[in-house]
Structure 1
Amino acid sequence: MSEIKVGTITTLKVERKIDTGYVLTNGKVEVLLHINEADGDLDVNQEVDVFIYQDKKGQTIATMSIPDIHLNTYGWAEVVDSVRNLGVFVDIGIQKEILVSKDDLPLLEGVWPKAGDELFVTLESDKRGRLLAKPVTEEIIEQERDRAQPSMLHQQTSGRVYRSTKVGSFIITEEGFRGFVHHTERKTEPRLGQWIEGRIIAVKDDGTINVSMRPIKTEGIEEDAEAILNYLKSNNGSVSLTDKSNPEEIRNTFNISKASFKRAIGKLLKENKVVQKNGETILQDES
């Protein structure tokens, strides 16, 4: 072997010691192991296992701090920074942070990961030898996931979002299940890499699960009613919606289904907090 490939773990021999560290070799190619990247003192001709990557100057170097994530191996990496129009940077356990390109992130930057979120990624190298972190594919998820049992229906679960779409959010749960949160089962769209909690509302024959982030119905009615009241109070006491309105108009305004809207409005009407007339829901004068 003559090539030393970035993103891989390889065994090299200490060729010589220099002021800044050690020169390692595979017999044909030399690479620097900086003294800060070495685990203690090394001897000439000693063999060491190292991870290969490019430093910020573009120089190929070695480290004895072996990350869990490398070429063709997936793992969780914490997001440390986000750069508009570029992507996010993740920490894989080496001194250099690795870019997840914007091309591999949602179009809407509002659901990009924030610092502290985690992404399930592997590493790839470009033609210039730079490492990039690539989010997990559905193919890998399908190979690696566990199967949920029917008895788990209605249980609480939690996990991280690994893919975000208009239709909904896909998660990997703590137990290793593949879960799906339909857009109607969430109040707001969670970020890619965000940790979420919910309850299992369906276990499919293939062992995947559907998850709801919405509260159970009785709690949801209270929450939706409160949201409608707050909206009315901040919008001159009225909204051009009733329980006869178009479902899409209701969702665009309150991000809830028509059925949820009707339940919440029914509660408010019963409590004499609102009235409906001329196609509007109107806040009652509390005085």
Structure 2
Amino acid sequence: MSIELGKFNQLEVVKQVDFGMYLDGGEEGEILLPSRYVPEDCKVGDILNVFLYLDIEERLIATTLTPLVQVGQFACLEVAWVNQFGAFLNWGLMKDLFVPFREQKMKMQVGKKYVVYAYIDEESYRIVASAKVERYLSKDKAEYLSGDKVDILIWQKTDLGFKAIIDNKYSGLLYDNEIFSTLETGMKMKAFVKQVREDGKIDLMLQKTGFDRVGDFSKVLLEYIEEQGGRISLNDKSPADEIYAVFGVSKKTFKKGVGDLYKKHLIILKEDGLVLANSEVK
């Protein structure tokens, strides 16, 4: 049996001691799970899902806590402190995550957040992080189709829009003129693939192209108004960011949907919102 440092592992409890439980680490020997992380009613023979990392003394140790990033993943983390060797990021564990100076694009500052990639340093066998995330993104051409739903992490602002990390593997771009809400580095959200270009670059969008067809969004809007009891406080004069926060569509798409429902006599336009035409709410 081999264990994976910096990831979750399914390990068997083999010994109970006053200060915790020892787990079977195979070739690595027994691994301590300190008392503070031992589940209630845990006993020898149980199989636990634990995260493995190195403690302050560089000893292999287990925890049932979930870190903010695992080895092989990207995340946006805050700098807890710095010293003459590098920066240390808060990743939700007792021991902070180290970023050597050589892995920083600019000198990291306490209290600020940075997008990093976690990996195992081959020389020291330590879990470390790098802010030079480009080198860890896949260079292969993605096999996405237009309209595919993906998970993204907002990475950095550019002149064209926002770069995002797609499915913890690829780089993509959201264009400014297609963004209708406030985005910030570190945000996680769903997005849709607009296209994969011939050169492999991926264009993203935050709303599915299908909503550009008025009928599609009209149905969504009508169902939402019904779910809200027949009235909503949004109308075609509402700010674009408020519309986007609720529906994930542009104000233009929203206004087209409102117009479609109004022409079909399904809604009534009010100064303070929209009301179903057949609703008792007026």
Larger Rg: 1
Q: TM-score, normalised by structure 2?
A: 0.49
Q: TM-score, normalised by structure 1?
A: 0.48
